Amino acid sequence: MSGKQDTPLGKTFTITFEPGQFLPTHANPSRVVISVVRGSGTIALIADPGRRLWAGDFVQLEPNEPHAVTAGEDGLELLVSLVENCCGGC
């Protein structure tokens, strides 16, 4: 994790995965917005356990939504924003 930045609305940081590296299933109390900066991989969600990720994709997760990430053969770089749940739903 690098480039961490705190803002009034939440936190933003970059995660860089080596090829095949993974982040096990977890959840965040905040809304999560993921932007795929480079590379490819998959994100496992309850509703879509094998969703492919490609550079340019965006994914928004609800607070406390379980998810896991696995990098593809070319690695994966994600820009992640943890957004405070300001109104109960966006």
Q: pLDDT at residue 88 above 60?
A: no
Helix (H) or strand (E) run with residue 74 in it: strand 67-83
List pLDDT tens digits, range 46-83: 999 999 999 999 999 999 999 999 999 999 999 999 99
In a domain, 31, yes or no: yes
In a domain, 51, yes or no: yes
List pLDDT tens digits, range 17-41: 999 999 999 999 999 999 999 999 9
What pTM did the predictor assign? 0.85
* Number of domains present in the structure of the chain: 1
Domain containing 63 equals 2-83
Query: Which pair of structure tokens corresponds to residue 37?
Result: 């900066």
In a domain, 70, yes or no: yes
CATH number at residue 31: 2.60.120.10
Query: Which pair of structure tokens corresponds to residue 66?
Result: 């379980």
- CA gap 52, 49 in Å, rounded: 9
Q: pLDDT at residue 86 above 90?
A: no
In a domain, 88, yes or no: no
Sequence-distant (6+) residues with CB within 8 A of 4 are 11, 12, 13
In a domain, 40, yes or no: yes
